[in-house]
Each structure stands twice: as structure tokens, then as C-alpha cells.
Amino acid sequence: MTDTKYFAIGALMAGAILDTLLGDPRNFPHPVKEFGKCINYLEQRLNKGQYKIFKGLIMCALLSLGVWVIYYLLQNIAAINPFTQLLFSSLFIFYGLSNRSLIEEGLKIEQQLTKGDIQKSRIMLSEIVGRDTSQLSPHKIRMAILETMSENLSDGVVAPLFYYTLGGVPLMMSYKMVNTLDSMVGYKNDRFLLFGRASAKLDDFANFIPARITALLIFIVTLKYKSFKYMIHYGRSHSSPNSGYPEAALAGALNCTLGGPSVYSGIVVSKPYIGKEQREIEHQDIIKTAHINSRVFILSLLIVLLSIIIFP
């Protein structure tokens, strides 16, 4: 192998190990926090008056392309010597991944449920999902945890690695900006319906392939035929063109049902059910999902490493 491939492998392994050990420390500087500040600054100034769709498109293009340019330039500067090149790539691969934090958030909410503190679990869940959690039962809370862990397995693990494989750190971080844009302005409400349309559509496009890869990887690591069957049968059931695929694969792997009506901003949104096993979702389902996510993370890394070795 060439020195370039050794550096790419070393950086990927270092970034993955850092994510596994540290997750996303709350008080640690993180580029996604800065992305959020930029989005908030521009949204407050542009999301008013006429031409909201056009203004939202300009913001979306400016930020997603701007991040790619910035990281492309930083990558070239870091390439002045092997050490800085390795440090740069390792650090931003670490920033681009969020496997540990995703699993930890789900397990923390589950921990409160097992303690019997349903109110605390509702509050904690509200910090990571958009739906109204104030009246959710333990079953509905666990259902939301599973949906979030499967959907964000694509957003926080598979998609970043997919774009790193295609275009290195610059494309990986540009994807993170696209994903952050969607999470902040990609809502179908009065405030963001027009202004956030471009961001939502770009996120749908960016996650089209990774979401389906994620579903396939869930099937591979579980070897549950029903996982594959649900992926094919229910993948398109979700209102999102992408989220339904990993959710369906997980529902099949666990032999449970996800989806169904949820409350957003006081309005009941009717969403189709994914699956038909009307059983209570239990503590063990959350634990199994944490293991599934970890195995998908490892398999994704192995695939990317193999692609680095095989392809020029």
C-alpha cells in the first residue's frame, strides 16, 4: 500500500476510536455547534418578507458549499507534513461521527424508565426528537428511542462514512452542515415551510443512498429475514423518503412495530405503522438496538477500510 493509504487508514481508525472513547463531550468545541450558530444567524436575517424559498436556497447553498471550500483549504494546509495531515483528518473524522453519543442518549432515557421516572425520561426524549413527549407512555417512549437510534444511525454513522469515502473530510463535513440545516430549518411548519424547503430537499437527496445502506447493514448484522422483508415492504411507508428504511429494518429485526400517530406542536400527525406485531416494546429491545448500532458501526468501518485498500 502507498503512504497515502496508510495515512487514510490511520486517520479513520483514530477518528473512530476517539468517537468510541469520547462521544460528543458537551463542553468540548465542536464544528456542528458552529454550523448551528451560522444557520441561526442567517435564518433570523433572511427568513422574513418575500422570496423565502429563494432566500432559503441561497442560505443552503452558501453554507453547504462554503463548508466544503473551507475544509478543502484546511486540508491542503494540513498537508504540509504527515503529522498535521494525520491530526487534521483524525480530528474531523471524530467530529463527523456520533455513534457513541447516539447510543448513550438512548440508554440514558431508558435508564430513567427502568427507574420508574417517566417524567424525566419524557423531558430527556424531548431534547432529541421533534414530537411532543409530555404524554407519552413507556411503550411510546421506547418506540421513539428505537426510531431515533435507527434513523440517526444513518445520519450519524453511515452517511458521514459514506461521504468520507467519496470525498474525504471536506465532503464529510459538508454533509454534516446539510444534516444540521435540515435539523434546524427543515420543518413543515409556518416558520420553515418555505424557507427550509431547499435544506429539507437537499438532506433528502444526501441521505437517499446512506439510509438504504443502513437498512441493509442492519439486516446483515442481525441476519433476520424479517428485517429485509420489512425494509422492502415498509421502507416507503414513512413520510420521509429515507427514514422508513432503517426504521423498517430495525422493526423487522426486533419483531416489533414502530411509527404510528404522533403529536407535533399540538397537532396529531398521522404516520403509518411500520410492522404489524402489536407487542409492548421492552427494556431488552433498547439494549439489543444498542448492540445492533455498534455492530453496524464496526461493519461500516470495515467496509470503508476495505475500499481504501482496494481502490486507488
Q: Which residues pair with 16 in a beta bridge?
A: none
Q: How confident is the model at residue 234 (pLDDT cuts 50, 70, 90)?
A: very high
Residue 70 has pLDDT above 90, yes or no: yes
How many domains does the chain contain in total?
1
**Among the listed ranges 59-68, 121-130, 218-227, 256-265, which one has the minimum average pLDDT value?**
256-265
The Cα 154–Cα 245 span in angstroms is 10
Residue 60 has pLDDT above 90, yes or no: yes
How do residues 127-150 score in pLDDT, each as one tens digit?
Answer: 988 888 888 999 999 999 999 999
For the four alpha carbons of 222, 224, 230 and 232, in that order, the dihedral sign comes to positive
| Distances from the Cα of 116 to the Cα of 36, 123, 135, 269, 290, angstroms | 34, 14, 15, 28, 21
Q: What is the pLDDT of residue 107?
A: 97
Q: What is the pTM of this model?
A: 0.95
| Cβ(261)–Cβ(269) below 8 Å | yes
Query: Which of 3-17, 89-103, 235-249 has maximum average pLDDT?
Result: 89-103
Q: How confident is the model at residue 124 (pLDDT cuts 50, 70, 90)?
A: very high
Residue 239 has pLDDT above 90, yes or no: no
| Cβ(259)–Cβ(269) below 8 Å | no
Average pLDDT of the chain is: 93
> The domain containing residue 108 runs over which residues?
3-310
The Cα 227–Cα 86 span in angstroms is 38
Cell numbers at 264, concatenated = 407535533
| Percent of the chain surpassing pLDDT 90 | 81
